Amino acid sequence: MARLPAGRWSKWVVVVVWVVVFGVAGPLAGKLNSAQQNDSSAWLPHNAESTQVVELAKRFAPADIFPALVVYERPDGPVTPADQAKAAADARRFAGVKDVTGKVIGPVPATDGRALQVVVPIRVAEEGNGWEELTPRVEELRSIARADTGGLGV
């Protein structure tokens, strides 16, 4: 009886069983993102103030809008009027990117005058893999912002 768990073939059977288990369960792990609910209202009591604030906030900020931030900086001094014109032109171009919805806000200057910020609202699909579809939109925003910077950091 002691030979069965420590035998030459039984070790390989255990390895094969684990490989089959991982092979069957692996693809199912990717579906967990759509099944989980991570917002605080899911695990807090319904009458908690935090839950009520989350519900009120949904009126002002839709759950399917992701605010992408584009920051322009001039590390060696204050931003110039040309920098502001470039950021404003980019903000107009951002509005034409696929899935950009609502008003593009900015450029908003920093209090120290060394940076500008543009807020770009991007619609993210609530169902499926919407977050994976966000990457190409962000890359397009980056390519627009990094074109012809003239020493302006993005």
CA distances from 53 to 8, 37, 43, 61 (A): 62, 17, 14, 12
Domain 62-146 class, CATH top level? alpha beta
Residue 4 pLDDT greater than 70, yes or no? no
Quick: pLDDT tens for 65-106.
888 899 999 888 888 898 899 999 999 998 888 888 888 988
**pLDDT for the residue numbered 118:** 92
Contact 145, 72 (CB under 8 A): yes
**What are the boundaries of each domain within the chain?**
62-146
Q: Is the pTM of this model over 0.85?
A: no
What pLDDT band is residue 2 in, cutting at 50, 70 and 90? Answer: low
Sheet holding 65-73, edge to edge: 65-73, 115-123, 105-109
Backbone angles phi and psi of 151, in degrees to 5: 90, 0
- Higher per-residue confidence, 57 vs 96: 96
Residue 128 pLDDT greater than 60, yes or no? no
**pLDDT for the residue numbered 108:** 92
